[in-house]
Structure 1
Amino acid sequence: MKSLAAALLLAAAAPALAQSEAPTAPAPAAPTPAAPPRLIVAISVDQFSADLFQQYRNRFAGGFARLLSGGVFPSAYQGHAATETCPGHSTILTGMRPAHTGIVANNWIDQRVGRSDKIVYCSEDENVVGTTHESYTVSDKHLKVPTLGEMMKAANPATRVVSVAGKDRAAVMMGGHKVDELWWWDGKTYVSYAGRAEPRAVTRGKAVVAALVGRPQAALPLPTWCKPLDRPIQVGGQTLGQGRFERAAGDLKAFRASPAADAAVLSIAAGLIQDMKLGQGAQPDIIAIGASATDYIGHANGTQGTEMCIQMDQLDQALESFFATLDGWGIDYEVVLTADHGAHDMTERQQQRAMPMEAHVAPIAQIEAVGALVAAKLKLTDAPLIGAEGDVYIDDKLPAATRAKVLAEAQRIYQAMPQVAAAFPRAQIAATAMPTTPPETWTLIERARASFDPNRSGDLLVLLKPRVTTIETPAPGYVETHGSPWDYDRRVPLLFWRKGMTPFEQPLSVETVDIVPTLAATIGLPVSGLDGRCLDLDPGPATTCPN
């Protein structure tokens, strides 16, 4: 039976491809070509932790199995403290940490914004009249540094840069400012910036997805090796752990949090590669692909039920269908696959599995509660604190002397809480040197420094203790999360593959910021001033890391 991934790829590709099924055999073994690859394929699997990769690596038989025959770094790092989607994606194709990309969180506070909503979303233009951080105009304006695609295009204007993802922030942060095509799922369909012409590949993909969503989805097959995870758990008024992605016709939200969403993104990516003839010119091209379903599935179901197990199996098949399609076109491509952050399972299931320290954050730690305590202590009429993610901001209308008192009192209150690991004032973070040692050795404040921007970060950064989740009360679609400075959220796999590459595995840590200097060396593109370093992927002639 043809997999969902293969069916989507065939239907969304050009008619000539749809006449026969894409090849499924592994790419033939051959020496790594001496010339640089013609196409770089950079894939981010949202919320694909190193722990999840380790759990399933012996079960992969498709696309992940292929990547495991290349260069494998099973425990790479998103080294910074702000382990969220936007900061993580900003590191993957820039070679820079969030402290330099400017993407300190998914959302931050800017009290200078000329609208009542002072929260700024990382991929919006907050100056557009009538917008909020939840109803926004997508923009790349907050990304402060160029992506690899921009660097390639600056060196050779003929280079094509393409980005497609299940989230706008993934597409924008990996694509950058100068893209030829950039598309994302907006909750209803695939869209781009206003005024951009829709290419045929996207039109085909949208039509296929609309037809798919318009039909009900029967339960997906449960692999035999998933059966030990087939156990119910009660959380947030729901029974989870046994889902198989049944979906009613027209349920867009369920589609987004299912394996079909990743297969759709890969099918549109394949169509763009085919129609634009990426990888077939004299210059190297690049396509960034953001597979976002793992994150939505994890938030809604946790990581240890049938839902995530099926997702890993389906994504493995989808990747192999995608790679086999590129093989059939004869493209010389190099793949890098990683993640924007990790995660760990929901609190309730962890508590059942010998993790009694697992806990939801107490209501007293919420920004409103702390602000009320500070106001009462200092006899202020209005709440002096504003919050976004882990950053706490002090009302800038307060006099400087009062602001200093507010900061000191807020820090005192937070540090006294049993669930808080640290509360760092911005001056302390700013005075900390950027870390230069391996990321697993970084102190908490060094992790905070790696994602600190003086113009966007808060006045106080509050970090919870390990296994204390920021979810106060679980709810449908939100029973598990990430964003902590701890290694279960920081560690991600980093996989490189190119036909003929000498297989190897390096268990010691590297960082996602190492991707850009490594790929740049592969295509002979000089780069400098990055946070990352070049990794030697092959002992043969393909190794071009500068000394």
Structure 2
Amino acid sequence: MKKVFMTLCAAFALGLFPAKAAPQTAGVARPKLVVGIVVDQMRWDYLYRYYDRYGEGGFKRLLSEGFNCENTQLDYVPTVTAIGHTCIYTGSVPSIHGIAGNDFIFRHTGKKTYCTDDETVSSVGCDNAAGKMSPRNLLVTTVGDELHLATNFRAKVISVSLKDRASILPGGHTADGAYWFDSKTGRWITSTYYRNELPAWLVKFNATDPARRLMEQDWNTLYPLDTYVQSTADDTPYETPFEKGGKATFPVRTSKLLKTDGYGVIRETPYGNTMTLQVASEALTNEELGQDDITDLLAVSLSSTDYVGHRFGPNAVETEDTYLRLDKDLAAFLNLLDEKVGAGNYTVFLTADHAAAHNVRFLADRKVPAGAWDAAAEEAALDSLVAADFHVEDGVQAVMNYQVFLNRAKLQAAGADFHEVKQAVIRHLRSHDEVMYAVDLEEAGTAPLPAPVRERVINGYNNKRSGDIQVVLNPGWYDAEDRGAQGTTHGVWCPYDAHIPLIFMGWGVRQGETTRAVRMTDIAATVSALLHMQMPSGCVGTPVSEALK
């Protein structure tokens, strides 16, 4: 008996009878699929502005079945698309994740770059440069990257959007597929960063010429025009017409615009969202997302709401109609998730990358303080100032992202005192009535700013990719870019740009709402907590614990 006992002990010591392995992924309760839906430029109040016109299966379903974070704010500036999508899926801010704008300047080289440009890769699905993109400028991991790491890369991560940056940045470094729309060819494409050819299902989808099919329908209102009482009259000076000298009124002859302006016009109609959800549906089905015990991720960004908003503004009939059509498309997509994955087997969250201001002329006509700032004109004025006072030509490299980028190389070559130049520019900016603050970004931590504004400035400042001076305009003011006083834009700290919707629904989510302060950085932290996995590497957010069961 003693010999048997000793033999067994030796066997265990040698690992001949290994102990039962600790449960891995199979032992962790997770949904089959997480779906992130980002509605580009969706103001929080759109949930309620058009509430009585929504059907039961779209926004209303999310509100009634999900957990609604009513007071979700962006916690950085500038509030633009690339940063918003990055923040949602990383839980991080520009000072850490490195995406300092849609465009930014590398300080060590002085080179201006688009956020996802990558000359080392090639287009897949088209013969032009639209696919020369990747996430290589992103310095941290995303929820999708962490899901791959947590599942030993058995999960699938797919991302789709009309905009390249709104597909690439949410997908992260390890996405199995990121797809976006090429306006020149009307096809959905990718880059060799991900794969060398399009998947068969996307080739088949492209072969149907989906943009043409939708645009040939033209765009008229879903309902009689006189029922759009939440919007201004159809013909107003606050909107940008498609055709020079024309009117921004219904019907919109998209079939004609297709012939004159090409496929890209679909971006500025609700059909762009319809097509994006069609691609998402094809990916859901053909990639077999949510069909096994390993959680998958589908990131969907709906960009047409942003293009429509920029062209027409928040008070236009076109904007209202776009959201009413999106509501129907969302309902159909949620029904497809129920059918393919099963109600209760997936978790979805809906949010926005930023919101938008009211049109400045619309506000001014109603005696509300507002105005249009011209960053290009300011850049020229500052350049002249530096040339006159310091004898340096082209001393200002750019004014963008509400920041001034000084040309360090030229200032240094001319022997100009960088600090003195910076202070002269700040004094000039502060002399403008519309400029509330002009802040030396290297001293933002001690700048005499209201705490919420200072925090956003600090979070948005990346010392290798941001400018030298932050411009904080008065509320109601924005950089009108090339649109003049038509349409709208976004980019500042104010609630109209920073207050976004955030709703979680489905597996592991309670029904309810909160009005406490939630930050965009909390989204990735909450999804990570839901999935019992590590947060992304630069995450500074906190889980919305009351939303989780």
Partners in 1 of 2:238 and 2:482 — Cα distance? 10
- Aligned AA for 1:38? K
- Whether contact under 8 Å (2:376, 2:399) holds in the other structure is no
Q: 1:327 aligns with which of 302, 319, 338?
A: 338
- Aligned AA for 1:450? N
Partners in 1 of 2:102 and 2:36 — Cα distance? 21
- Aligned AA for 2:539? L
1:121 is aligned to 2:114: yes
The offset of 1:58, in angstroms, is 3.9
Partners in 1 of 2:232 and 2:493 — Cα distance? 31
List runs of 5+ in structure 2 lacking aligned partners.
Answer: 1-27, 123-128
Change (3 A) 1:328 1:443: closer
1:337 is aligned to 2:350: yes
Q: Which residue of 1 aligns with 2:187?
A: 189
- Whether contact under 8 Å (2:217, 2:255) holds in the other structure is yes
The offset of 1:421, in angstroms, is 1.4
1:247 is aligned to 2:254: yes
Partners in 2 of 1:85 and 1:46 — Cα distance? 7
Change (3 A) 1:269 1:190: same
Change (3 A) 1:512 1:424: same
Q: Which residue of 2 aligns with 1:97?
A: 93
Q: Which residue of 2 aligns with 1:179?
A: 175
Secondary structure of 2:254's aligned partner: coil
Partners in 2 of 1:382 and 1:507 — Cα distance? 48
Partners in 2 of 1:522 and 1:280 — Cα distance? 19
- Whether contact under 8 Å (1:54, 1:74) holds in the other structure is no
Partners in 2 of 1:304 and 1:382 — Cα distance? 40
Aligned residue runs from structure 1 range 297-446, under 5 A: 297-331=308-342, 332-355=345-368, 357-361=369-373, 366-397=378-409, 398-399=411-412, 401-429=416-444, 442-446=451-455
CA deviation string 1:377-405 (max 9, x = no partner): 23334444433322212222223752222
The offset of 1:229, in angstroms, is 2.2
Query: Greater shift after overlay, 291-300 or 395-404?
Result: 395-404
Q: Which residue of 1 aligns with 2:5?
A: none
Aligned residue runs from structure 1 range 219-230, under 5 A: 219-222=220-223, 225-227=227-229, 229=231
1:110 is aligned to 2:99: no
Partners in 2 of 1:354 and 1:244 — Cα distance? 31
- Whether contact under 8 Å (1:41, 1:287) holds in the other structure is yes
- Aligned AA for 1:352? D
Q: 2:143 aligns with which of 145, 148, 161?
A: 148
Q: Which residue of 1 aligns with 2:58?
A: 63
Q: Which residue of 2 aligns with 1:18?
A: none
The offset of 1:150, in angstroms, is 0.5
What's the TM-score once normalised by structure 1's chain length?
Answer: 0.83
Partners in 2 of 1:513 and 1:405 — Cα distance? 36
Q: Which residue of 1 aligns with 2:48?
A: 54
Secondary structure of 1:139's aligned partner: coil
Q: Which residue of 2 aligns with 1:198?
A: 198
Change (3 A) 1:214 1:228: closer
Secondary structure of 1:443's aligned partner: helix
List runs of 5+ in structure 1 lacking aligned partners.
Answer: 1-33, 436-440
Q: Which residue of 2 aligns with 1:456?
A: 465
| Seq. identity, % | 27
Query: Greater shift after overlay, 43-52 or 238-247?
Result: 238-247
Q: Which residue of 1 aligns with 2:528?
A: 520
- Whether contact under 8 Å (2:239, 2:248) holds in the other structure is no
The offset of 1:369, in angstroms, is 1.1
What's the TM-score once normalised by structure 2's chain length?
Answer: 0.83
- Aligned AA for 2:521? V
- Aligned AA for 1:181? G
- Whether contact under 8 Å (1:360, 1:468) holds in the other structure is yes
Q: Which residue of 2 aligns with 1:164?
A: 160
Q: Which residue of 2 aligns with 1:73?
A: 69
- Whether contact under 8 Å (2:212, 2:263) holds in the other structure is no
Change (3 A) 1:334 1:135: closer
- Whether contact under 8 Å (2:148, 2:155) holds in the other structure is yes
- Whether contact under 8 Å (1:471, 1:479) holds in the other structure is no
- Aligned AA for 1:380? V
- Aligned AA for 2:83? P
- Aligned AA for 1:77? Q
Secondary structure of 1:461's aligned partner: strand
Q: 2:237 aligns with which of 234, 237, 246?
A: 234
Partners in 2 of 1:240 and 1:228 — Cα distance? 20
Partners in 1 of 2:247 and 2:190 — Cα distance? 34
- Aligned AA for 1:192? T
- Aligned AA for 1:516? A
- Aligned AA for 1:518? T
The offset of 1:264, in angstroms, is 0.9
Query: Greater shift after overlay, 394-403 or 251-260?
Result: 394-403
Partners in 1 of 2:180 and 2:108 — Cα distance? 29
- Whether contact under 8 Å (1:120, 1:126) holds in the other structure is no
Partners in 1 of 2:387 and 2:51 — Cα distance? 52
Q: Which residue of 2 aligns with 1:531?
A: 540
CA deviation string 1:466-525 (max 9, x = no partner): 11120155369x631100121110110101110685421112220121111211222221
Partners in 2 of 1:82 and 1:389 — Cα distance? 6
Q: Which residue of 2 aligns with 1:16?
A: none
Partners in 1 of 2:156 and 2:363 — Cα distance? 45
Secondary structure of 1:93's aligned partner: helix
Change (3 A) 1:461 1:240: farther
The offset of 1:103, in angstroms, is 1.1
Secondary structure of 1:280's aligned partner: coil
Query: Greater shift after overlay, 412-421 or 378-387?
Result: 378-387
| Higher Cα radius of gyration | 2
- Whether contact under 8 Å (1:205, 1:267) holds in the other structure is no
Q: Which residue of 2 aligns with 1:10?
A: none
Change (3 A) 1:416 1:220: same
Q: Which residue of 2 aligns with 1:11?
A: none
Query: Greater shift after overlay, 56-65 or 506-515?
Result: 56-65
- Whether contact under 8 Å (1:222, 1:306) holds in the other structure is no
Query: Greater shift after overlay, 483-492 or 181-190?
Result: 181-190
- Whether contact under 8 Å (1:87, 1:98) holds in the other structure is yes
- Whether contact under 8 Å (1:153, 1:159) holds in the other structure is yes
Partners in 2 of 1:166 and 1:64 — Cα distance? 21
Secondary structure of 1:173's aligned partner: helix
Q: Which residue of 1 aligns with 2:456?
A: 447
- Aligned AA for 2:236? I
Secondary structure of 2:516's aligned partner: coil
The offset of 1:111, in angstroms, is 5.5
- Whether contact under 8 Å (1:98, 1:450) holds in the other structure is yes
Q: Which residue of 2 aligns with 1:498?
A: 506
